[in-house]
Amino acid sequence: MGEFSHFDDQGNARMVDVSGKADTERTAVARGSIFLSKEAMEAVLGRKVKKGDVFTVAQVAGIMGAKKCSELIPLCHILPLQSAKVSFQVSEEEGRITVECLCKTAGKTGVEMEALTGVSVTLLTIYDMCKAIDKRMHMEGIHLVEKQGGKSGAFYYEEEKK
């Protein structure tokens, strides 16, 4: 287990100094799901939600969220994202919409927080757009799926074996 890098010698919060690090290609993928009632799912898929096309609006919101990560998370670095993509997988039978966010940059620090923020904002937008139909929606499993680049190398999330 590594030590916490966002504290100085006196225990004060600080932004990590990455000025001496070389720029490298970095990618991160995050994923999470929202569960909706049958009525809400039918409205989303039928494009009958009064606030508009849920997938289009949530996709744009997720990309905007990834771009604004450093404004939301106090000690995150400002990163020039070279790519941010939000995609959806629908399981109508389970009442689940799974969101995935892929972020890329060339920089001194990773884009994990941007991908996680992108997923979170996308899910929150779906909730906001559908809450008039279903206030019992819930979000689950927001997590980093994989990351590439940087000194710590690649990371791949593996499901727990039961």
How many Cβ atoms sit within 10 Å of the Cβ of residue 153? 8
Round to whole Å and give the CA distance between 72 and 106. Answer: 21
Instruction: Please tell me whether 129 is known to bind a ligand.
Output: no
Round to whole Å and give the CA distance between 25 and 48. Answer: 41
Instruction: Please tell me whether 77 is known to bind a ligand.
Output: yes
- Angle (CA) 110-103-17 rounded to 5° is 20
Distances (CA, A) of 89 to 32, 100, 113: 10, 8, 21
Instruction: Please tell me whether 75 is known to bind a ligand.
Output: yes
Round to whole Å and give the CA distance between 55 and 94. Answer: 18
Is 128 a known active-site residue?
yes
Residues near 46 by Cβ (< 8 Å), separated by ≥ 6? none
Instruction: Please tell me whether 76 is known to bind a ligand.
Output: yes
Catalytic residue, from 23, 53, 128, 134: name it. 128
Instruction: Please tell me whether 113 is known to bind a ligand.
Output: yes
Which residue positions form the known binding site for substrate?
A: 75-77, 113-114
Q: Which residues are annotated as a binding site?
A: 75-77, 113-114
Active site residues: 128
